Chains A and B, each alone.
Chain A
Amino acid sequence: MASANVLGPELVESEQSSGRADGSERSAFWWYLARKIITALISLFVVLVIGFVLFTIMPQNPIESIARASGKPMDAAQLAALRKSLGLDEPIWQRFGIYVWHSITLHLGYSYGYNQSVASLVLPRIGPTLLLTGSSTLISIVLGLWLGSKAGWRPGRWLDRIASGTSLVFWSVPTFWLGLILLIVLGTGVGPIPTLFPSGGMTTPGFSGGPVGTVLDVAWHLALPCLTLVLVVFAQYVTIMRSSLVDELGSPYLLTARAKGLRDDDVLRKHALPNALLPTVTVIFLQIGGLISGAITVETVFSWPGLGLLTYDALKIPDLELLQGTFVMFSASIIAMNLVADLLYRVIDPRVRAQ
């Protein structure tokens, strides 16, 4: 073809710009991963430092508070022995070193309030909290992204206004209060509304219906706390999805897609949404912190036996060792989610992958 000659130099350039072979892109990824993991570990270390400062350095009278937590009267000799065993008179650096070592090896301390190791208290609570936060997040994502994409595709129309208005209102609602209202209306029943859901806990005491029955029982108990979290959180997802989509609306590639003869739905699904989802997904992961805070209050209100309820019980005593344990657990999960968000963005956005 005649045009090929004119394009000679350009062809060579195109070979060059395709640049690296596959291997180099993959090794770039590993470097990226390593960098991000190191940053995450540093964050974790900083968290440990802050925890140390908070729970070991700041408290004025650790011995008294332990004595109070344990609820048993102690004489001077016992207090002195306690002091020695906790190493309170050792130099700070030594204590910090021991603390870090213990944290890494998951010796999270001893709870005097419950008279057992913090780790043994924390571990069984992880499951229920994961169940609650996991199911809420999943439902919120599906609901939020669906509503947000409908609202964002036609901004200014009534669906958009209603969605935005609802999101605004739900953002302003305190999670614990919403939970209580749902508990009163649907849990204990008010006026003509009967008790539809249990008023607390994860399982019905004394229930023995086999595996399927247990699953249903748990699900029945999960309904209200999950609903509370979903209502508060999905509003945020609607907002993010909507604004990401609105950002894409003026983009030229959407006009190209329409010019190709695609139907409106297909332009949204195949072109606008994949682009709008990129920032949305990462923001969702970065907002996990808010979800965790919500979980604490929701578990408290519904007596859901997770890490949140444990935190609440610990702060009532107050049991500093236990609080420290939950603090570290929550921080670690947020750091982990931030790491996932970073990695996810790199994986799903082809423009970032090149770096």
Chain B
Amino acid sequence: MSLLAVEDLAVTYQTGGDDVRAVRGVDFSLEPGQTLGIAGESGSGKSTTVLSLLRLLPASASVTGTVRFKGEDLAQAKWSRIRAVRWAEASVVFQGAMSALNPVRTIGEQIREPILLHEKVGEREARARTADLLDSVGVSAQRAAAYPHELSGGQRQRVMIAMALACKPELIIADEPTTALDVIVQAQILGLLTDLVAESSIGMIMISHDLSVLSSVCDRLAVMYAGKIIEIGPSKQLITEPQHPYTKALAGAFPTIGDPASRLAPSGLAGDPPDLRGDLVGCPFEPRCPVSMDQCKTTEVTLWPAGPERESACLRVLP
């Protein structure tokens, strides 16, 4: 049984007049100890998809589809069950560099909070575990009494990771964990995440708009565009041999650390993502696609096999 199996997930935001269909039918699965990266531009629906798994979206969002976590459909579960699952079984690492930490509480308090909430332990044990957690991410345990603003960006991100591990979850969702950090700290954080995941065989979903970050950490990669997954497969392969024109553009846009040639050939992508308020006919990427054909405007695209364990939603992969 998969750790996580998502089927036909769709999210629609009902704002005033128009409905914005941010996620339009997403399927993927995750095994324990596996890492899946989700890449895409802003507005592609990656954060929305991932937040909807634990029902963390605002009330204006309506979610349909199945989210099977360890066999249980979270989309249909009662709120009390969701609150119990949150953090204890599946936790989230947000961007800690921004204010994802409460500015007026010490980081120690914030790490202890989920421990005291979900487990029947006393204050002392919670403090002891907090100290251990901070050690495991490379932050001195004495810093537990510090406030978030007293820490650097890198330290805050480590605190976020320590916090996410507090209740020993089986799934971690990392939402842009390194986006606001400089390159060196970024490498350290990614290394930390990789080690922790390997040690405890936690399943991890990581979101980023930076393909090179994802390829270094994740086994598999999914690329999202306009609310759908348009390519999915083993990450190294996906980057070196992208099958979808959008993935090709993304792969070109970020230089790979260690490959000097890639710095000289970044290819930006002109145009804007489509307006998600209406129905989209044909391939959503067609207006910006450098290799589009006439049929692309009208034919419905869906994920087709495009190699070993690979799928791509492009007409060109069809034989």
Contacts and interface: CB of A to CB of B under 8 A. Distances in A.
10 contacts: A14-B143, A14-B155, A18-B150, A253-B102, A259-B54, A259-B92, A261-B83, A263-B83, A275-B102, A354-B150
A158 B55 CA distance: 25
B274 interface: no
B100 A253 contact: yes
A247 B149 CA distance: 19
Interface string B46-64: 0000000010100000000
B104 A256 contact: no
Interface string B160-187: 0000000000000000000000000100
Q: How large is the interface on A (under 10, 10 to 19, 20 to 34, 35 or more residues)?
A: 20 to 34
B226 to A, nearest CB: 24
Given A4-B138, A351-B147, A260 B191 contact: no
Interface stretch (B113-121, B233-241, B247-255, B275-283): B113-121
A354 B151 CA distance: 12
A350 B104 contact: yes
Interface of A: 1-4, 6-7, 10-11, 13-15, 17-18, 251-253, 255-263, 270-271, 274-275, 278, 349-351, 354
B191 A350 contact: no
Q: How large is the interface on B (under 10, 10 to 19, 20 to 34, 35 or more residues)?
A: 35 or more
B151 A17 contact: yes
Given A18-B142, A259-B56, A354 B149 contact: yes
B88 A261 contact: yes
A191 B140 CA distance: 74
Contacts of A4: 138
A131 B147 CA distance: 39
B104 A275 contact: yes
Contact of B87 (A11, A13, A259, A350): A259
Contacts of A257: 102
A269 B102 CA distance: 13
B141 to A, nearest CB: 11
Contacts of B118: 261
Contacts of A350: 103-104, 147, 149
A14 B140 contact: yes
B257 to A, nearest CB: 15
B140 A15 contact: yes
Given A15-B140, A261-B87, A252 B100 contact: yes
B152 A17 contact: yes
Contacts of B85: 261
A262 B149 CA distance: 23
A255 B94 contact: yes
A6 B191 contact: yes
Contacts of A17: 150-152, 155
A261 B84 contact: yes
A274 B113 contact: no
Nearest to B83: A261
B140 A259 contact: no
A184 to B, nearest CB: 47
A14 B92 contact: no
Contacts of B138: 3-4, 6-7, 10-11
